[in-house]
């Protein structure tokens, strides 16, 4: 049996940082030589990079990363994590880059270092934000590898141990951040020993007077009880021996911050915090736990309502143990915790116990599998905690949100699958509307690139740039989608009004009138008569094909008797740049300078057909929906066309035809391949061309290729 009592005044606040020799000795006890050599190499690299840098205490800066690595070595973390701990400040504080670290130490170590560097950029703006659970969830969710959090927690532990070198305002700020963010994260990950040390050091730095008062009272109580605790430990040990149970019994003392937190939570004085002292029993099996519980209740009377079975119903972070409170000698309340050695390891180190290096493993995959299994088990404790863990811990197991950085270090939270365009609109609507390119982790990337957790995104804008209607097909955030649709609605409205004015002027030209010659309020009067808001609304309806320009023109005439007999309509001039309110029929793909007609489609605006299109045969059924139209001399856009190429089945023939199309300054929008027989196939290309002569030249060029049997311009029957 062993007896140990935690003396809170001896917490490692003033502990001297270990040297590389001590660290290497510790690592050699559980890591293979090649991993130890990598850690030595990391130390040499970091020492050279930090040479000349000092901590505020005056110590060489390299003492800090070595101390962080030493904390992780106590948890038996793998070599990659230890190396990353030693290198965790080189990218942020020296001239080294992530690429340099990758080249020398490999991608795994570099990604850990990069993750810690990005976590260091996180700053909370207010105490309320720091206390928010969502902020802590964000820190957990934004890392791809949970080991990044472990390095950061170890980094914070050493910073707290050496906090005395900081000025008081900075000490209080760091202590508040530690208590509000990092201690709860350690608790969520089940890293009890790290959590306790962070809480104790944070409490001491933030509330030094309260710390001293509680410390003094606990010391006084300890003095009164010191004769009883060894006796209780001895009695329990003897009971275990008589029952044939192997185990360890140790006295424990509640930590000062836990006492303070309980006093605040229950609003009670120190005298009423009854479980200041306790005993922990660690045994081999779960069955032994329940047997020891019976032995303890046989030795001392249990306190009613103070028994908790966290073995059958674990806590949210995976903690398991039996808790019972007994009436000790002289009625002294005494909490007893009973658990297996495996439960004790998990209770102290949480997820670190599952990332811990074990001899015989082939790589980090096995440790990662253990960690994932632990997270799965934690998430499945009950429905509520499953939801919490799904929101809290992001591994490959739990993807739901992405957390991204702006170049200034601000954090943007976006839905999974978000693209650079979503990010641009999340920054500001104007940034989204004017974005033309993006850099992801300082490298140019397409705007439709799907972003991953922890990436830094920079949006490049240009004056005069406008949203692309195609963006609406790949954005996932509600703000981006709504902003793009709003812009397109406004754009469509403006274009429809311009087209409507053009069509109405052409209709008025039959009567020797134009909109300029009409009274200023005449258009608004007719719009009101038709139940519309104003003249602009009426022009928009005409442009969208929902009102017929000839009928509106007749209503605009001063008197019906002034209306001359109908003459030939002035054709609608098409430039090719009318945007959303003029479209080109897919059934015939009209090209300039082919003869065309315009169809007024309600809601779509004007649809342009070739005048020999089979669908124009419906002209007689709806004469008021068709308008004559002509091309302006030099249309200023590319038009769609479709060609069918009959080819002999040869290897690479599709690539040869596609290359010929590209060589003729045409772009392929879509291609379809269909077998025509044993030896021939039909390649159907939807392409863009400038005009009909461009298409004719392209067809003649393809027709001259050796494996091409026939080329034709295709005409679909469906509009």
Distance between CA 413 and CA 423 in Å, rounded? 9
pLDDT digits (tens, 9 = 90+) for 12-61: 344 455 788 899 998 988 888 988 999 999 999 999 999 989 888 888 99
Distance between CA 576 and CA 689 in Å, rounded? 12
Distance between CA 206 and CA 208 in Å, rounded? 6
pLDDT for res 189: 74
- Pick the more confident residue, 502 or 309: 309
The answer to whether 114 is a known catalytic residue is no
With bands split at pLDDT 50, 70 and 90, how would you rate the model's confidence at 2?
very low
- Whether 67 has a pLDDT exceeding 90, the answer reads yes
Give the largest Cα separation in the chain, rounded.
121
**Structural element, H or E, at residue 641:** strand 639-648
Q: Is the peptide bond before 593 cis (omega within 30 degrees of 0)?
A: yes
Distance between CA 229 and CA 233 in Å, rounded? 6
- Pick the more confident residue, 450 or 5: 450
With bands split at pLDDT 50, 70 and 90, how would you rate the model's confidence at 393?
very low
Other Cβ atoms within 10 Å of 114 Cβ, number: 21
pLDDT for res 382: 40
Burial of 345 (0-12, 13-18, 19+ CB in 10 A): middle
Burial of 99 (0-12, 13-18, 19+ CB in 10 A): exposed
pLDDT digits (tens, 9 = 90+) for 581-594: 678 888 888 998 88
- Whether 361 has a pLDDT exceeding 80, the answer reads no
Question: How far is residue 295 CA from its own chain's centroid?
Answer: 52
pLDDT for res 253: 75
**Structural element, H or E, at residue 250:** strand 248-253
Burial of 5 (0-12, 13-18, 19+ CB in 10 A): middle
Report, as an integer, the average pLDDT of 499-505.
82
With bands split at pLDDT 50, 70 and 90, how would you rate the model's confidence at 711?
very high
pLDDT for res 13: 42
pLDDT digits (tens, 9 = 90+) for 241-296: 999 999 999 887 778 888 888 888 878 777 766 556 789 999 999 999 999 999 99
pLDDT for res 82: 94
Do residues 599 and 626 make contact, with C-beta atoms less than 8 angstroms apart?
Answer: yes
Strand partners, 631: 574
- Whether 424 has a pLDDT exceeding 50, the answer reads yes
Return the exposure string of 404-437: e unless at least 16 CB atoms fall within 10 Å of the residue's CB, then b.
Answer: bbbeeeebbebeeebbbbbbbbbbebeebbbbee
pLDDT for res 621: 63
Structure tokens at 598: 């315009």
Topology (CATH) of 217-353: Beta Polymerase; domain 2 (3.30.460)
List the CATH code of the domain at 401-476. Answer: 3.10.20.30
pLDDT for res 352: 64
DSSP for 11-47, please give it. SGGGPPPP-HHHHHHHHHTTS-HHHHHHHHHHHHHHH
pLDDT for res 562: 46
Q: Which long-range contacts (CB under 8 A, 24 or more apart) does 89-94 make?
A: 89/46, 89/50, 89/61, 89/64, 89/65, 90/45, 90/46, 90/49, 90/50, 91/117, 92/117, 92/120, 93/50, 93/53, 93/61, 94/49, 94/50, 94/53
Residue 547, φ and ψ in degrees, nearest 5: -130, 145
Can you give the residue ranges of every domain in the chain? 8-206, 217-353, 365-398, 401-476, 485-631, 639-713
pLDDT for res 40: 93
Structure tokens at 418: 């978000």
Nearest CA among 668, 708, 706 for reference residue 687: 668
Share of the chain above pLDDT 90, in %: 24
Burial of 227 (0-12, 13-18, 19+ CB in 10 A): exposed
pLDDT digits (tens, 9 = 90+) for 169-226: 888 988 988 888 788 778 777 788 888 899 999 999 999 999 998 888 877 766 666 6
CA distances from 212 to 99, 226, 252, 512 (A): 48, 20, 20, 98
Q: What strands, in cross-sheet order, belong to the sheet with 582-584?
A: 572-574, 626-631, 596-601, 605-610, 582-584
Indicate the DSSP class of residue 181: I
Distance between CA 541 and CA 600 in Å, rounded? 11
Distance between CA 177 and CA 131 in Å, rounded? 9
Which one of 93, 100, 309, 524 is the catalytic residue? 93
Do residues 302 and 324 make contact, with C-beta atoms less than 8 angstroms apart?
Answer: yes
Do residues 277 and 233 make contact, with C-beta atoms less than 8 angstroms apart?
Answer: no
- Whether 5 has a pLDDT exceeding 60, the answer reads no
Those residues with Cβ within 8 angstroms of residue 226's Cβ, 6 or more apart along the chain or in another chain? none
Question: How far is residue 63 CA from its own chain's centroid?
Answer: 34
Burial of 441 (0-12, 13-18, 19+ CB in 10 A): middle
Report, as an integer, the average pLDDT of 540-567.
65
Distance between CA 96 and CA 94 in Å, rounded? 6
Report, as an integer, the average pLDDT of 128-143.
49
Q: pTM (2 decimals)?
A: 0.51
CATH 1.10.3210.10 fits 8-206, yes or no: yes
Q: What strands, in cross-sheet order, belong to the sheet with 435-440?
A: 443-445, 435-440, 457-461
- Whether 126 has a pLDDT exceeding 90, the answer reads no
Give the chain's end-to-end CA distance (angstroms, integer).
89
Q: Strand 605-610 to strand 596-601: parallel, antiparallel, or no bridges (unpaired)?
A: antiparallel
The mean predicted confidence, pLDDT, of the chain is 79
- Whether 704 has a pLDDT exceeding 80, the answer reads yes
List the CATH code of the domain at 639-713. Answer: 3.30.70.260
- Whether 565 has a pLDDT exceeding 50, the answer reads no
The answer to whether 92 is a known catalytic residue is yes
Mean pLDDT is lowest, of 116-120, 125-129, 406-410, 515-519, for: 125-129
pLDDT for res 331: 74
pLDDT for res 164: 85
- Pick the more confident residue, 529 or 247: 247
- Whether 130 has a pLDDT exceeding 60, the answer reads no
pLDDT for res 284: 94
With bands split at pLDDT 50, 70 and 90, how would you rate the model's confidence at 564?
very low
With bands split at pLDDT 50, 70 and 90, how would you rate the model's confidence at 716?
low
Indicate the DSSP class of residue 515: G
Which residue's entry shows tokens 């269909």?
674
Other Cβ atoms within 10 Å of 265 Cβ, number: 8
- Is the Cα dihedral 655, 657, 661, 667 positive or negative? negative
- Whether 391 has a pLDDT exceeding 70, the answer reads no
- Whether 460 has a pLDDT exceeding 90, the answer reads yes
Mean pLDDT is lowest, of 113-127, 268-282, 664-678, for: 113-127
Which one of 37, 74, 92, 712 is the catalytic residue? 92
- Whether 367 has a pLDDT exceeding 90, the answer reads no
Distance between CA 274 and CA 603 in Å, rounded? 76
Give strand ranges (E) for 312-389.
322-327, 333-340
């Amino acid at each position: 049996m062993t007896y140990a009592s935690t003396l809170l005044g001896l917490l490692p606040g003033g502990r001297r940082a270990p040297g590389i020799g001590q660290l290497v000795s510790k690592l050699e006890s559980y890591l293979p030589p090649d991993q130890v050599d990598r850690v030595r190499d990391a130390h040499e690299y970091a020492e050279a990079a930090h040479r000349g840098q000092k901590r505020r205490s005056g110590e060489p800066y390299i003492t800090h990363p070595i101390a962080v690595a030493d904390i992780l070595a106590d948890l038996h973390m793998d070599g990659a994590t230890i190396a990353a701990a030693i290198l965790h400040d080189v990218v942020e504080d020296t001239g080294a880059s992530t690429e340099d670290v990758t080249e020398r130490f490999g991608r795994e170590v570099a990604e850990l270092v990069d993750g810690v560097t990005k976590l260091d950029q996180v700053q909370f703006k207010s105490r309320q934000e720091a206390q928010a659970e969502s902020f802590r969830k964000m820190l957990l969710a934004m890392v791809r590898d949970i080991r990044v959090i472990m390095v950061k927690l170890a980094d914070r532990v050493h910073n707290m141990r050496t906090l005395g070198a900081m000025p008081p305002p900075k000490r209080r700020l760091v202590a508040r951040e530690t208590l509000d963010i990092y201690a709860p994260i350690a608790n969520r990950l089940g890293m009890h020993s790290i959590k306790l040390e962070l809480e104790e050091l944070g409490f001491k730095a933030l509330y030094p007077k309260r710390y001293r008062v509680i410390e003094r009272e606990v010391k006084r109580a300890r003095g009164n009880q010191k004769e009883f605790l060894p006796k209780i430990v001895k009695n329990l040990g003897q009971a275990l021996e008589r029952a044939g149970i192997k185990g360890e019994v140790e006295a424990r003392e509640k930590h000062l911050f836990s006492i303070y937190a309980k006093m605040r939570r229950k609003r009670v004085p120190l005298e009423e915090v009854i479980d200041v002292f306790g005993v922990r029993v660690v045994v081999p099996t779960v069955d032994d736990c329940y047997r020891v519980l019976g032995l303890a209740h046989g030795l001392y009377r249990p306190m009613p309502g103070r028994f908790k079975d966290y073995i059958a119903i674990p806590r949210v972070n995976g903690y398991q143990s039996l808790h019972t409170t007994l009436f000790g000698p002289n009625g002294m309340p005494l909490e007893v915790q009973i658990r297996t050695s495996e439960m004790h390891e998990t209770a102290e180190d949480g997820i670190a116990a599952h990332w811990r290096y074990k001899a015989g493993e082939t790589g980090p995959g096995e440790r990662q599998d253990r960690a994932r299994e632990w997270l799965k088990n934690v998430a499945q404790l009950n429905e509520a905690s499953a939801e919490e863990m799904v929101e809290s811990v992001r591994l490959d197991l739990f993807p739901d949100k992405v957390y991204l950085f702006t170049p200034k270090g601000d954090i943007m939270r976006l839905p999974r699958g978000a693209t650079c365009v979503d990010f641009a609109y999340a920054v500001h609507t104007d940034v989204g509307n004017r974005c033309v390119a993006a850099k992801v982790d300082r490298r140019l990337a397409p705007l439709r690139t799907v972003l991953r957790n922890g990436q830094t995104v920079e949006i490049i804008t240009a004056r005069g740039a406008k949203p692309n209607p195609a963006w609406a097909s790949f954005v996932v955030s509600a703000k981006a989608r709504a902003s793009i649709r709003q812009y397109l609605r406004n754009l469509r409205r403006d274009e429809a009004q311009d087209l409507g004015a053009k069509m109405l002027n052409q209709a008025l030209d039959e009567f020797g009138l134009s909109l300029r010659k009409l009274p200023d309020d005449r258009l608004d009067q007719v719009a009101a008569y038709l139940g519309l808001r104003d003249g602009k609304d009426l022009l928009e309806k005409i442009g969208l094909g929902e009102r017929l320009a000839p009928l509106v023109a007749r209503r605009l005439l001063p008197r019906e008797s002034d209306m001359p007999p109908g003459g030939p309509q002035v054709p609608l001039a098409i430039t090719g740049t009318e945007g959303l309110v003029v479209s080109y029929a897919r059934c015939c793909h009209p090209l300039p300078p082919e003869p065309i007609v315009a169809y007024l489609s309600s809601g779509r605006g004007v649809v342009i057909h070739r005048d020999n299109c089979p669908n124009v045969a419906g002209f007689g059924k709806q004469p008021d929906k068709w308008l004559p139209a002509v091309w302006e001399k030099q249309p200023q856009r590319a038009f769609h066309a479709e060609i069918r190429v009959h080819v002999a089945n040869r290897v690479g023939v599709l690539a040869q035809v596609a290359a010929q199309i590209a060589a003729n300054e045409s772009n392929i929008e879509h291609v379809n391949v269909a077998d025509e027989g044993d030896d021939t196939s039909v390649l159907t290309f939807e392409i863009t061309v400038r005009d009909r002569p461009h298409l004719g030249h392209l067809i003649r060029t393809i027709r001259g290729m050796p494996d091409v049997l026939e080329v034709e311009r295709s005409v679909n029957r469906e509009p």
